[in-house]
Structure formats: structure tokens, C-alpha cells
Copies of this chain bind each other. A is one copy, B any other.
Amino acid sequence: MVSREERTEPVLPERHRSPLAALTRAEQVYTQLRADILAGRLLPGTKLRSAELTERYDCSTSVVREGLTRLAEQGLVQAEPQHGFHVTSLSVDDLEDLTTARCALEGLVLRMSIEHGDIAWESSVVAANHVLERTPIYLDGDRALMSEEWTRCHGRFHEALLAACPNQRLRTMALSLRDAAELYRRWSGPVGHDEARDVPSEHRDLVDAALRGDATEAVRLLEEHLRRTTRALGARDRADITG
């Protein structure tokens, strides 16, 4: 059999390697798969044949299946027994459901975060927003392609806002909803662009309200922020936008 080392970097001697570095192949493939879906490299609705994926990720069917199973549990992919897996499709109805859920849950978590946030949290929010403001949204002048980098910074900014919520579970759930929405944002960016919108200023107002400790206002702003993205896409096309 082919040694596993052949597909990874040469491995350090046993005792020099941190236990955390010993990533399982299943873990790696799961992470990659998730990233590929979230980044739009695997489009919504795509059938995920295990044979193709074993080749793509250079591993056996078992580890592919494990990754798919985990993602299915999260709702990022759909699993139908005896029919395999496919990337969860997008629909306007689902987007509206998702947005409602996010407004409710993320709003709640934001409120808790503001109420419990200390100085360190405040500064990390300011820092995250600063980085975000200095990162260009679009790769080109035509505003056709959103930059990966901006997407990442945007995610980190919102994550920072929620970070002070002391409740692990609620925070995790809110973040998982953000991930689900990431798929939609990838579509709404280039196509359903709202010209009248000034996203950086939305973020700034949000930061201001948060630092002021005005949770109610911050939550209001967050909900508006979330709903605008939804409207931008929803107005454009009422039909299914399954990929």
C-alpha cells in the first residue's frame, strides 16, 4: 500500500511533533470539503459522487463519506439514503427562513455579547472593523468578483461582535447560521447588488452602538444589515436559484 506520508509533508520524529498537529485524514478532507462548498468551488445542487471526491482529495471512500456525513448533519449538504449526497440547494424561501432565524438568534447573541463584553472585546471589535475597512471588497473595478480576503475579514468582524456572548451553545448556533448564509452571500454579492448601499457605514454604526452599550439599537442595526442582503437577492429573482 502507498505510505500516507507520500501525500503530505515529511513528518517530524515522534516526540517533536505536537499532538494537535497530527490531523486525521478524515479531518483534513472534511475541512477541505467544507471550505470548497463555502467558497463556492462546489456549487449548490451539485451531486457529490464519492468516486469523484476520492480522486479530488486523494483518499478512500470512507473518509469522503465521513466528511459528507458530518456536513449533512450541519445542513450544508443533503443526504438521501441510497442516493448519495448533494450540496444543499438554494431557494428564496429558504433564504427568507434563514434570514428570519439569523435576525432572531444572532440578534439575541449580539445582545448578550454587548452586555457581557469587556475592554478586550471592545478593542477586538474595533480592530476587526479596522481591518475590514482597509480591505477592498471587489477584486476588479467592475464589482463583479468579491475578494476572498474581504469575505474572510467580514466573517471575522461579525464573529468578533458575537465573541463576548458567554453562552457557548447559542454562539455556536449563531455562527453555524452565518455559515449557511455564506452560500447565499456569495451569490447575492455580484448579482443582486444594491447600489444605494454603504456597507462600511453600516458596520461603523453597528460598532458605535455596540461600544456605546446600546444593545437594542445595535440589534436593530444588525437585523437591518442582514435583511438588506436578503432583499438584494430576493428582489432579483423570485424563482429557485438552484445551481
Give the interface of A toward B (CB within 8 A).
22-24, 27, 62, 65-66, 69-70, 73-74, 81-82, 97-98, 100-101, 104-105, 108, 167-170, 173, 177
Contact = CB atoms under 8 A, between A and B. Distances in A.
B169 A98 contact: yes
A100 B24 CA distance: 34
This chain: how many copies in the complex?
A: 2
A104 B111 CA distance: 12
A177 B100 CA distance: 19
25 contacts: A22-B82, A23-B81, A24-B82, A27-B81, A62-B62, A66-B69, A69-B69, A69-B70, A70-B70, A70-B73, A73-B74, A97-B168, A97-B169, A98-B169, A100-B170, A101-B167, A101-B169, A101-B170, A101-B173, A104-B167, A104-B170, A105-B105, A105-B108, A105-B173, A173-B173
Contacts of A98: 169
A103 B30 CA distance: 33
A81 B24 contact: yes
